[in-house]
Amino acid sequence: MNYDHIGQMINIKIAEYGDNMALRYKADESWKSLTYREFGEKIKRLACALIKADVKKGDTVGIYSANRYEWAVTDLACILAGAVSVPIYATNTRDQARFIIDDAKIKIIFCGNDIQYQNLVSIHADGLPLKVISYDAELSIDQSFTSTFDEFMNVSDWQNFVSEMDQRSGQIKTDDVTTIIYTSGTTGNPKGVMLSHGNLFHQFEAVDANFEVSSADTSLCFLPLSHVYERMWSYYVYLKGAVHTYLEDPKMVIETMQAIKPTAMVSVPRLYEKIYASVMNSQEAASGIKKYLFNTALKVGGEYNDLFFRNRPIGPGLKLRYKFFDRLVLSKVRAAVGGKKNFFSAGGAPLEKSIEEFFLACGLLICQGYGLTETSPMVSYNTPHNFKFGTVGKLVPNCEVRIADTGEIQVKGPQVMKGYFNNPEATAEAIVDGWFNTGDIGEFDEDGYLKITDRIKDLIITSGGKNIAPLNIETLVGKDFYIDQIIAIGDKRNFISALVVPAFESLETWAHKRKIQFQNYEELVSHPHVIDFFRERIDHHSKKLAQYETIKKFRLLAKPFTMDAGEITPTLKLKRKQINEKFKALIDSMYHNKD
């Protein structure tokens, strides 16, 4: 990349794409937009406002908000002002946010809704003085330490600070830290990952090498911008002059995809799992002829699109059959996600092979990859012309991976972080002789594709000495339409059990159709017919598992695992230790009772 830093890159793209649409966002129930020029002016005005507010070069600035275009303006303004942005997940609790604010030494912070604002009010009152800027102009704010975004940015003499901004921007080096992203912390407190402009430029080059994205593309930004995956991709969208659409409420992702019809986007597997589960569930009640047509359509679509995406010749007979089944069945699945895509991307957790195959059959290629916050994030990826389902692809360019004797994946390359902020001990433990210890277990197959088995710390070792990867069990069984969350259990025990949180909206519909009476979810999950139903569902999805990996017993929970209860991280990863401790009595009952 022929840029010194991301701020410089954005300035060049703003000049290049000027009056082209840069972004869209929802306001007053309708879509609004900004051109690249308008986007650039807001970034520069805010950078000058930060300088006027006495933000010094190298200072940290917090962003505690869900996705919105102001988030991106703030992030890029920080770069031009020479500051370092520190995102905090919008879903982080008060205590989680307080830890990051304290650890990162944040004095000025931008926030989204009233929940985040009230958390900051409490933190401010608790002895951590903050200057708060609210994106939401409708919030009731304490003006002694809070401004609205528009007020803060509306600096009448902002142009007096442009020369200072330009001077600071001109001093930024490629190896300088651009952001500190705190890991979600499945064990202990999160650690602040310091990523440089050079780390991210490596990622842009990796995408450029195997994906085609241009100013004709539209992307949907629905993963949290505090997540490195969406953050890296968002920078890349602007590098290519494409249009980025900001979605504040991720629950509206399907409806928004149908409305804006993105041509490329990144996601975590949960979105694809839900779409897949919904389609497959609808088939369970279909007539015999409809099931036959659906299954045949998937078979024909799989054959056709495997050849199509690999640029291989397709025979006239297959073309004709595909055209028929595409119009009848497959196009309807594509319509549900806003039509054709150049590609989907998936990362952050494993995506089950059958789901990848389903989407490909429908003409939607999901390119699954692997990485971590500490690797900016990509280490490996499947690409539109080089993919193998059930793997996380081949290594991205200019990256080395070795498998340690323990099976741990170790990474070396320009994408590896500079270290953990304010934590040299953790840095020294994570990076040894330039090799980053990922904590993940994996292997290369005969074709050079990487497979992830599990996290080292998550491995279950049964009392019989079997090593079992719980993530594999949870991925296979958890794709079920009626399962929202699942955790496999069995460390130092003689068989695998599970705690299961049903997808209650779907389960209620199922129960009402069968005239099952219940007053609350506790009654629903303890009903014998419901328990038998889940036994069948779990067994159905466990056919690919070895006998010793199958779930022998399970308990249905009436409440989901939550961040507030300390059971999951902001990226929805299970906190296994905490869950095992909290539900110990319930877990023990599965091993002591003869049910």
Q: Provide the strand spans (E) within 36-97.
A: 60-64, 84-88
CA distance 138 to 473: 46
Residues forming a β-bridge with 24 = 33, 245
The pLDDT of residue 541 is 95
Asked if residue 182 lies in contact with residue 86, where contact means CB atoms within 8 angstroms, the answer is yes
Sequence ranges of the domains in the chain:
6-172+211-266, 267-452, 459-592
Distances in Å between the Cα of 117 and the Cα atoms of 94, 126, 145, 390, 500 are: 10, 14, 12, 42, 34
Tokens of 127: 């002895």
The pLDDT of residue 572 is 84
The pLDDT of residue 185 is 66
CATH number listed for the domain at residues 267-452: 3.40.50.12780
CATH number listed for the domain at residues 459-592: 3.30.300.30
- In the block, tokens 């003409």 appear at 363
R_g over Cα of the chain: 25
* Among the listed residues 36, 388, 438, 415, the one whose alpha carbon sits nearest the alpha carbon of residue 204: 415
Q: Tens of pLDDT along the chain (595 residues)?
A: 789 999 999 999 999 999 999 999 999 889 999 999 999 999 999 999 999 999 999 999 999 999 999 999 999 999 999 999 999 999 999 999 999 999 999 999 999 999 999 999 999 999 899 999 999 999 999 999 999 999 999 888 888 999 999 999 999 999 999 999 999 766 678 999 999 999 999 999 999 999 999 999 999 999 999 999 999 999 999 999 999 999 999 999 999 999 999 999 999 998 999 999 999 998 988 899 999 999 999 999 999 999 999 999 999 999 999 999 999 999 999 999 999 999 899 998 889 999 999 999 999 999 999 999 999 999 999 999 899 999 999 999 999 999 999 999 999 999 999 999 999 999 999 999 999 999 999 999 999 999 998 888 898 999 888 889 999 999 999 999 999 999 999 999 999 999 999 999 999 999 999 999 999 999 999 999 999 999 999 999 999 999 999 999 999 999 999 988 989 988 888 999 999 999 999 999 999 877 6
Quick check: helix, strand or coil at residue 77? helix
Distances in Å between the Cα of 219 and the Cα atoms of 2, 72, 347, 380 are: 24, 14, 16, 22
Q: Do domains 6-172+211-266 and 267-452 have the same CATH topology?
A: yes
The pLDDT of residue 89 is 95
For 72, other C-beta atoms within 10 Å of its C-beta total 27
CA distance 353 to 427: 35
Asked if residue 62 lies in contact with residue 206, where contact means CB atoms within 8 angstroms, the answer is no
Asked if residue 200 lies in contact with residue 1, where contact means CB atoms within 8 angstroms, the answer is no
CA distance 476 to 352: 6
Virtual torsion, Cα 449, 453, 455, 457, nearest 10 deg? -140
The pLDDT of residue 156 is 84
The CATH number of domain 6-172+211-266, selected from 3.40.50.12780, 3.40.50.1100, 2.40.30.10, 3.30.70.100: 3.40.50.12780
DSSP 467-524: EE-HHHHHHHHHTSTTEEEEEEE-TTSSSEEEEEEE-HHHHHHHHHHTT---SSHHHH
